[in-house]
Structure 1
Amino acid sequence: MQAIRFVIEDVRFAERDVTLRLPFRFGSTTVQACPQAYARVRIRLENGATAHGCAAEMMIPKWFDKDPRLTQDQNIEQLREALAMARDAYLSDPAPDTAWGHFARHYSGILATAQSRGLPPLAAAYGPAVLDRALFDAVCHGLRLGFAQAMSANAAGMRTEGTGLADDLREFDLAAFLAAHPSSLSGRRIAARHTVGLADALVERPAAAPQDGLPCTLTQTLARYGHRYFKLKLAGDAAADVARLADIAGVLGDAMHLVTLDGNEQYRDADHLTEFFEAFERHAGLASLRSRLAFIEQPMARARTLDSDVGALGRRIPLLIDESDATLDAFPRARAMGYTGVSSKSCKGFYKSVLNAARCALWSRETGRAYFLSGEDLTMQAGLGIQQDLALVGWLGLRHVERNGHHYVNGMAASPEPEQAAFLQGFPQLYERSDGAVRLSISDGEIDLSDLDCPGFATGAAAGHVSWDAMRPAD
């Protein structure tokens, strides 16, 4: 397929406040509320037709920039600035281009502008990440294709040669790589990897827990959703982390099929991390969990990760970068330090996920060592955000993906009832109505992706029922 070229005619942003039903503690931060950003765009194709697209992403504070001098509100302002920077850059050049072309020609400029304003690259990437999804949604609608069909046909026009981006892949046949992926998500199911946060109750229901009918403890969560895949947060204290993991393992028992650990940048250095891992290996009560451990995610601060050799430990347990994956060249740099994994996270950009998946395929073939991509979460919410992220990881062929937004937030309760009803009608396998709201449906620990074979970037007709007028304009 010839990738279509288009002009970006309009970009608008809005916000909807989201209150968490349970406090979410990761690293040294606890989040209880934040906005969700929405983007909507209008493009004009070269044949004169117009198409519309949209996207949504949570504005989680203290993840994109963990500078302790900044408040959570200041972190959210950074993300608003990133959105504005992306909009201004993309609208500044009226020349038609492909979806990938619009991203590629503004990527370096946005990073340079962000640096001049003191905005870290991970926060700066948030703007293009949201805008690129909305633009590709418009492309898919313009072509009357679903996401999987459009990606396999390279409707975005992705290429590395001549762009100055991802030069390590300039000899790689990216079009063939895309074409090898499925053009349909029908019948596809993916396991939801449940997050156990640092403040999460395991067995005893907290006195302040909400009376909303939803799980508030790990035992209740297992009973309701049937999870078999788990992501466990670490605090950076080796002894305390090992003790907490032993408590969690006692609750999970035979439910464990696969476990990942998330350091959230809390370990000081490679020696500190090795101290934890050796204590973890010695603990008799962790033998079952240890046998199911797939990898450790982002154990050290992002500023140190790409300059610290973790090769020795990486040969004992796979290590993955997440917050350190701020730029398109981060994964190759992390590979040189001993990391073999990288996260796919919609807030960092879906093009980056695709390029990193290509690297995993290439490096694994060249070296015989397993390089891998893992689907991670940023408290994705039911609606546009979770649909687009699930379509991406489903098309990439991942077997499991971290999902925590359904646990910490009461489904689509913040959305007007007509919007909830429209999404339930449009995606009857993906959602259910229970406990007073429409929410993600998880059965036997799995999510059915069949509904995502719909026009657009997994948005379908339900996107037309998003209650834009009920949101706060953010233009």
Structure 2
Amino acid sequence: MIRLLSAELFRLELRARMPFRYGIATMTDVPQLIARLTFDFNGHAETGIAADLLPPKWFTKDPTRALGDEIDEMLRVIRRAIVHAQAIRAATPFAFWRELYSAQAAWAAAENLPPLLSNFGTSFVERALLHALCRRHRVNLATAFRENLPEIDFAGLQPKLAGQRPRDFLPAAPPAAIFARHTVGLSDPITAGDLAAGERVEDGLPQTLEEVIRFYGLRHFKIKINGEAARDRDRLERMVRVLGDACGDDYQCSLDGNESFHDVASFADYYGALVGVAALRPLWPRLMYVEQPWHRRVALSPAIGDLVRTWPKRPPIIIDESDAELSSLPTALELGYAGTSHKNCKGVFKSVINAGLLAQRRASGLPAVLSGEDLGNVGPISVTQDLAAQAVLGVTSVERNGHHYFAGLAQFPAAFQEHALRLHPDLYVPYVPALPDARGKRAGWPRLDIREGRIAMGTINAAPFGVPGDLDLSGVPRESLG
């Protein structure tokens, strides 16, 4: 029998080194929440952790609401998921998650909360449960799924996968390295000429697109668009020139529409106009997919299917924010989408199910995309757990942006920094800023080590759900459980 014995929440206040504009929001300050949960596995107690930023304007994208109210609401759904988990007694980890998912969904429906938001709370408990399970059996996440230690039973949730096990469609071994797909935000500078006086971040790290390519050797990129045709076209043309000069023919990219298109036909018209631009011709052979161009209000409507049937030369299009429920991907595939994204905040078990559905689709010769996208992950929990899950799912190009918008682990306690450098020496390197800070100090801190555009996965793949050892949380302020 599995049950939750105790739960603790911790909170860090982080500030971005440069503004990150995504969709209708610009992130400058944001909390990171850490959950530490202890479970009883048939008489054996084991602790697991999970962490994520609490990013306003992503789960709901309501321009009228105050940022603080949205953060409070995210905390509310996480606390409620813990309350539901405390009442569960389940025979297997997968059964525990299914009960939690159902209880949280029923509560959210009664509270008129959207599934994407409410399942954020479920995912916190789920991640801590998987971490504890891996620690209990002293295995990494890949082994846990290949040996089906969670005891996943697909039949009750997805009949198309009845009789299968995760090992039937997940990779035989996680990749040894993953491409870091660099995010170019809506207001990010492309060249040094885009930086106005006083906008240069004086920490020695790269800031413009040109600089990050040189610094990290990047070859994969995620470009955000917002549907403002003239503005997007100008930025895309300038980016294509920079990418061609820096990478030659050796690059790939995705476009992220961030739900900018509110009616179905508008994106087809917008995309068709861009394809006709001569200066953008080098981009299209290197486009992997377009991510969530349509607002969630229309993204899974029958009108999408009507459009797809009359748009044979469309690019591969995937859902992201619309992937809120277990039924979301099957609905999307029926409408003509090519796949979906994985983010830990949307759930690991759900992505395993999605991976199985996409493997069947791929075997039938149809386009099947499971992408890896970021939510500004930063720190030695959310980054490593996200990468561990991506590797298990077979995703080899993952959007990574936390290391660019935040100054490495500079804002994390010394114990976190020491843990990262000691136990993830292939992932983090010590960094000393080129210039002193406002106090005249040049104290160093760990930064993500991306070489030739890739992230080494050795220590992440080896650790229980990407997090080795015990992380000292004594220096992190506590957050109330309610």
TM-score range, shorter chain: over 0.9
CA distance in 2, matches of 1:184, 1:200: 32
CA distance in 2, matches of 1:89, 1:273: 41
CA distance in 1, matches of 2:133, 2:17: 36
Please state if 1:409 is matched with 2:399.
no
Shift, 1:377, TM fit: 0.4
The equivalent position to 1:137 in structure 2, one of 131, 135, 139, is 131
The equivalent position to 1:182 in structure 2, one of 145, 149, 172, is 172
Shift, 1:468, TM fit: 3.7
SS of alignment partner, residue 299 of structure 1: coil
Counterpart amino acid of residue 181 in structure 1: P
Contact preservation (8 Å) 2:148, 2:165: no
Shift, 1:168, TM fit: 4.0
Please state if 1:13 is matched with 2:21.
no
Shift, 1:259, TM fit: 0.8
The equivalent position to 1:197 in structure 2, one of 169, 185, 194, is 185
CA distance in 2, matches of 1:445, 1:183: 21
The equivalent position to 1:108 in structure 2, one of 102, 108, 130, is 102
Q: Which residue of 1 aligns with 2:233?
A: 242
CA distance 1:203–1:12, shift in 2 (3 Å):
same
CA distance 1:67–1:49, shift in 2 (3 Å):
same
SS of alignment partner, residue 52 of structure 2: strand
Shift, 1:240, TM fit: 2.1
CA distance in 1, matches of 2:23, 2:172: 37
Q: Which residue of 2 aligns with 1:22?
A: 18
Contact preservation (8 Å) 2:4, 2:86: yes
Shift, 1:65, TM fit: 0.5
Structure 1 unpaired stretches of 5+:
none
Shift, 1:177, TM fit: 2.2
Contact preservation (8 Å) 1:262, 1:296: yes
Shift, 1:106, TM fit: 2.4
Please state if 1:423 is matched with 2:420.
yes
Shift, 1:171, TM fit: 2.7
In the TM superposition, what whole-angstrom CA distance separates every residue of 1:377-421 from its partner, at most 9, and x where no partner exists?
000113010101101111222221100000000111111223201
Q: Which residue of 1 aligns with 2:337?
A: 339
CA distance in 1, matches of 2:312, 2:204: 42
CA distance in 2, matches of 1:278, 1:175: 39
Contact preservation (8 Å) 2:147, 2:167: no
Shift, 1:68, TM fit: 1.8
CA distance in 2, matches of 1:12, 1:444: 39
Please state if 1:98 is matched with 2:106.
no
How many aligned residue pairs are there? 460
In the TM superposition, what whole-angstrom CA distance separates every residue of 1:55-88 from its partner, at most 9, and x where no partner exists?
1111111000111221111111111011011101
CA distance 1:314–1:174, shift in 2 (3 Å):
farther
Shift, 1:474, TM fit: 3.0
SS of alignment partner, residue 278 of structure 1: helix
Q: What is the identity percentage for the equivalent residue pairs of Structure 1 and Structure 2?
A: 33
Q: Which residue of 1 aligns with 2:59?
A: 64
TM-score (norm 2): 0.92
Q: Which residue of 2 aligns with 1:440?
A: 448
Contact preservation (8 Å) 1:228, 1:258: yes
The equivalent position to 1:157 in structure 2, one of 151, 171, 182, is 151
In the TM superposition, what whole-angstrom CA distance separates every residue of 1:215-250 from its partner, at most 9, and x where no partner exists?
111111111111100000001122321221111111
CA distance in 2, matches of 1:418, 1:90: 29
